[in-house]
Amino acid sequence: MASKQHENVRAPGSKPGENMLWGGRFTGGLDPLMVSYNESIYYDRAFHSQDILGSIAWARANHKGGILTESEFSAIESGLKKVEVEWAEGTFKIVPGVDEDIHTANERRLGEIIGKDIAGKLHTGRSRNEQIATDMRLWLRDELRTIESFLVDFLKVIAARAEKEIDFVMPGYTHLQRAQPIRWSHWMLSYGMAFSDDLERLREVVVRVNQSPLGCGALAGNPFNIDREGMAKELGFEGLLMNSMAAVSSRDFALETMQWGSMLMTHISRFAEDLIIYSTQEFSFVKLADAYSTGSSLMPQKKNPDSLELLRGKSGRAFGQMAGLMMTIKGIPSTYNKDLQESVEPLLDHCKTVSDSIQIATGVISTLVTNPERMKAALDPFMLATDLADYLVRKKVPFRDTHHISGQCVAFSEKTGTLMDQMSIDDFKAIDKRFEKDVLECFDYEKSVEMRSAAGGTSKASVLDQIAALKAVLA
């Protein structure tokens, strides 16, 4: 058993290690477990298009630099395009034990199509260290731009609903206790502004992701005067990474993406938590569409907000991926180390989790049914205690005094079982003689929200200003 476990793993008729890009140095075979432990082809094949685009740009630059002839470049370009067709059509055959990663697989197949003599020239002057960094950045740039479009769509829905349902008034909460009346739209925009900040941060992340490491070699640079600017332009990069050692060893772009995604998912989680509460029968402010709910296997009456609970739960998954990568890279020496291979799988899953979550959140808020009557019914006069204090402030009474006086009114209401808006003017005057008949005008929820008219407040004009600001970011 022991000898079989450690037998050489290689293609039939090949010499030990010859099919690996690094194989010439080695004369012995690899432990089969080490082969699978080391290979990344089964997940970094997600970068097949990016790897081929980068290889074509590389071959073109080497042709311009005199390394490849016109016919050699044409053969390589044509062959790589045929390889990409195989990936796209699902006919590419991975060779276990040989195709260590996407770079090895593409070059191996290229050699089968155009011959190893010409295909073997493709790798002149380059390293897989720069290839994987290039592939990851190209893939991530495009993925983040797609995620950006999903986030824009999400924010458009929030802005549209906030504008349409601006007249709905509901309790605002602190400590999950009723606090002050607010507009439903104000609640939606509280998250809209957080997601708007996420959108702006995402756009900044994309700029840093979209920098080219191609042409940096394994760590020291390229000896054939490769045109890095030309390759970067062909691949749509916005600039060059200017230190070859940093370019191949840094995964800050992946980590920053995950940090960004973790913050976004934190906001999505809190958004989901509020809606879970608001959708309970005790609140019934909102009702989820059937498309984003599930039932119980035991209790026929149940309608569970699983979409929102999964959004809340997957925030932990996203944060864990980010924290895990930080621990992976925190102690590795310069420059490239195989530890960095561990940045690929969590990045792929993180981006999918974030992308899917934004789309689910968009679906939830798009199809949500609101119940403004239940929102209104949840309001109570105690929520206007601050308005009562503000009433006396306008009569030049110091706020610290008005706060105490309003508290006495609350205590009287609780002691006598009389709702505050049902207290008589005599009741109020008995507490403080500065109360007048117009004090009863304080007990108007619509008036209360309209009084909060400073920028950022919950008055209609302020909310409309917030909607306009959000739309400006989207534009």
**Which residues have a Cβ under 8 Å from the Cβ of 454 and sit 6 or more positions away?**
462
- Is residue 296 part of the annotated active site? The answer reads yes
123 phi and psi, to 5 degrees? -85, 5
The secondary element (H helix, E strand) that includes residue 250 is none
Distance CA 94, CA 86 (A): 11
1 token code pair:
């058993």
3-state helix, strand, coil in the chain (%, to 5): 65, 5, 30
Q: Residue type for 249, please?
A: S
Tell me the longest C-alpha to C-alpha distance in the chain: 104
Quote the DSSP letter at residue 284.
-
Residue 335: cis peptide before it, omega within 30 degrees of 0: yes
25 token code pair:
């140095």
**Which residues have a Cβ under 8 Å from the Cβ of 289 and sit 6 or more positions away?**
363, 364, 367, 368, 369
Q: What is the 3-state secondary structure (H, E, C) of 179-227?
A: EEEEEHHHHHHHHHHHHHHHHHHHHHHHHHHCEECCCCCCCCCCCCCCC
57 token code pair:
């740009």
Distance CA 57, CA 38 (A): 28
Total length of the chain: 475
- Is residue 175 part of the annotated active site? The answer reads yes
Distance CA 215, CA 223 (A): 9
Q: Residue type for 383, please?
A: M
Distance CA 88, CA 76 (A): 18
**Catalytic site residue from 296, 334, 424, 453:** 296
Distance CA 60, CA 56 (A): 6
Catalytic residues: 175, 296
